[in-house]
Amino acid sequence: MKKTKALPASILAALTRTMAGVAELVPLVEGEESQAFAFEWRGDGYVVRINREARGFEKDAFAARRFAAPGLPVPEVTAIGRLDEGPFYCVSRRAPGVTLQDLAPARLPAIVGPVAGVMDAIAASSLASTKGYGRFDADGIGEHASWHGFVTCIADEARFDWRPVAGLAGRAGMRRIDRHLKEVLALAAHCPETRQLVHGDFGANNVLTDGQAITGVIDWSEALFGDALYDVANIFFWRTWLDCMDQQARFFEAAGGSGETAGHGERLRCYQLRIGLQQVHECAVIGDAQDLAWALNRCDEIATIDWAP
């Protein structure tokens, strides 16, 4: 999806309707689809994000209301609205610190333990009054009747049209994709019908830290109900891309037998391939051949790893 580009003047005009006195927007690192700015109002720090859709913002608000806790800091969403020219905006409290991706590599070893603790807190969150599995909406309703349904829907052509991939990956690439799809379907039999909160895109630029503790977990647009090991698999999938992910994966490996790696080889392989195939599909949709090639190569690597039981 093409990134939204709203003019700062139009954003300020929308904000000042309810937050009179906002005078300056400071650009922040943007997401793949959204703009982000920091600003001050009445002595407090806030962030405003801009996106073509409100769905992700509404899930952020739901996550803040339902799951925020001392061990799981989720910034409060204070407003969701729409700019005059169409895009939506979301205002939330600004959490202190920097993202894991921006933290100096030398400081990462001190934070891998707290990161794991927050992941445990996410998995332990109460799902009372919610339903279903897989990606859920702003009312807490998952779109699948089972976790198996979410995992295997990557091979459902009614949900994932793989035709755009063929143009970028070619016949050889499609054969590799078909092989990985078949493995996901086979490995899904090892995945339990566990129903826990899953962030869905945990780590890197969605976790904030002051270098000692986790100060915020943001961007819940991809959040799921299912097996919490999926978030661990996301760390492992992206470990060769980012140092913060690699150091976190090494922490889990060093934990040896604590539930993150030992005894869960089939699930970790299944979930990593599932994550990678979705990344391949998303890259194809936006025409990003370079990142598609990386994600497909990463799937090939994962398929050869010997995850000892």
Catalytic residue among 84, 102, 201, 300: 201
Taking only the tens place, the pLDDT of each residue in 180-235 is 999 999 999 999 999 999 999 999 999 999 999 999 999 999 999 999 999 999 99
Question: Residue 131: pLDDT band by 50, 70, 90 thresholds?
Answer: very high
User: Could you tell me which CATH class the domain 98-304 is placed in?
Assistant: alpha beta
Q: HEC profile for the chain?
A: CCCCCCCHHHHHHHHCCCCCCCCCCEECCCCCCCEEEEEEECCEEEEEEEECCCHHHHHHHHHHHHHCECCECCCCEEEEEECCCCCEEEEEECCCCEEHHHCCHHHHHHCHHHHHHHHHHHHCCCCCCCECEEEECCCCEEEECCHHHHHHHHHCCCCCCCHHHHHHHHHHHHHHHHHHHHHHHHHHHHCCCCCEEECCCCCHHHEEECCCCEEEECCCCCCEEECCHHHHHHHHHCCCCCHHHHHHHHHHHHHCCCCCCCCCHHHHHHHHHHHHHHHHHHHHHHCCHHHHHHHHHHHHHHHHCCCCC
Taking only the tens place, the pLDDT of each residue in 273-291 is 999 999 999 999 999 999 9
User: Which part of the chain has CATH 3.90.1200.10?
Assistant: 98-304
The CATH number assigned to the domain with range 8-93 reads 3.30.200.150
Q: What percentage of the chain carries pLDDT values higher than 70? A: 94
pLDDT of residue 84: 82
Taking only the tens place, the pLDDT of each residue in 79-119 is 999 998 689 999 999 999 999 999 999 999 999 999 999 99
What residues are paired with 10 via a beta bridge?
A: none
Span 2-8, mean pLDDT? 73
User: Which part of the chain has CATH 3.30.200.150?
Assistant: 8-93
**Catalytic status, residue 201:** yes
pLDDT of residue 7: 86
* Mean pLDDT of all residues belonging to the chain: 92
pLDDT of residue 300: 97
Taking only the tens place, the pLDDT of each residue in 15-63 is 999 899 998 999 987 655 679 999 999 999 999 999 999 999 999 999 9
Q: Which of 149, 133, 150, 152 is nearest to 141 (CA)?
A: 133
pLDDT of residue 258: 40
Q: What is the pTM assigned to this prediction?
A: 0.93
